[in-house]
Structure 1
Amino acid sequence: MQSNNIYNNDSENQVTQKRSLEELNMWISHINYISEECDYIVKIASNKLKRKDLRDNLLLVIKNKNSLKNTFLEYEKTSENIIECIDLDCDLFYYNEHVKTRGLYKDYVDNYRKLKKEVFLGLLA
């Protein structure tokens, strides 16, 4: 899909697909930023806090980013078929896939925030 602009003559499926793709692109951008930020936080955990366990957990966040990004790209590829939906069961399938993918994103971000908070609390101690 080339454009995410929503037009008056777009079908409900087209609008849904465009919004889902927009949200997905935001998730990808966010996990890329988290991975970049995490590089610095890993160094803090290792060099300043001397917490190998925390460092290793943060490195796992960076490693998991690639797997999650691949999942997002697979979802994006699959979601192109939403336009072909002609019944509620099909719509529900894509809706549930989106909710499942959103859950993966949320879990990833929540885990990262927990580790980041632990680093910051360690710096304050």
Structure 2
Amino acid sequence: MARSTTKHFSGNEKEIAELIKENLVWKEDLSYAGEEINFLSKFLEADVFQKNILNLYEKIQIFCSQLDSFRTQNLDLSMEVHNNKYDIQGMLECEDISCEIFYHDEHLKLGMRIMEFIKNFKEFKLEVFSYTSGLLKKSSKEM
């Protein structure tokens, strides 16, 4: 007798598979944001800006401080996404709907926080790029 190699999922297992896919997307988005944070940190600390710009140093320090805050948020969210993967798998252990609803709601809340973080980080990057783009040295000989 031939055995079927296809696994049939219950409704709960299908939903769990979708939540795990969403978790993976979050992990990738936060990893990418982490790389952007590292780049922006190096960019802001590099000697690539024109000299004698009024309040340049102060503005760069404000950006660096904000960047540190984004780095912390990114690390915290990344840890929560890591833990969320196990919470999703824990939904299989649920014996009643209230248990599943709890884990699902927590997943949705985390998703909203990640979307808010990404939105705020995009706005921050735009502010940094808008401010610094006209202040870059035109050549390496500029002082």
Both proteins in one fold, TM over 0.5:
yes
Deviation, 1:39, is: 1.6
| 1:29-76 superposed Cα distances (whole Å, 9 cap, x missing partner) | 111111111222223334436411111111221232222111111221
Supply the distance in 2 between the matched residues of 1:96 and 1:25 (Cα, whole angstroms).
Answer: 18
Aligned counterparts of 1:37 and 1:124: Cα–Cα separation in 2: 17
User: What letter corresponds to residue 25 of structure 1 in structure 2?
Assistant: L
Aligned to 1:27: 26
Q: What's the Cα RMSD here?
A: 2.0
Greater helix content: 1
Q: What is the 5 A alignment of 1:48-63?
A: 48=49, 50=57, 51-63=60-72
SS of equivalent residue, structure 2 residue 39: helix
Question: 1:79·1:94 contact (CA, 8 Å) conserved in 2?
Answer: yes
Whether 1:117 aligns to 2:107 is no
Of all paired residues, the percent bearing the same amino acid is 21
TM-score in terms of structure 2 length: 0.72
* Residue number in structure 2 paired with 1:94: 103
* 1:58-100 deviation per Cα after TM superposition (whole angstroms, max 9, x unaligned): 1221232222111111221122121233433223212201111
Q: Tell me, in whole angstroms, the C-alpha distance in 1 between the residues paired with 2:123 and 2:45.
A: 17
User: Where do 5+ consecutive residues of structure 2 fail to align?
Assistant: 1-5, 50-55, 135-143
Indicate the larger mover: 74-83 or 85-94.
Answer: 85-94
Task: List gaps (5 residues or longer) in structure 1.
Answer: 1-6
Partner letter of residue 32 of structure 1?
A: S
**Higher RCO, 1 vs 2 (CA within 8 Å, ≥6 residues apart):** 2
Q: How many residues align?
A: 119
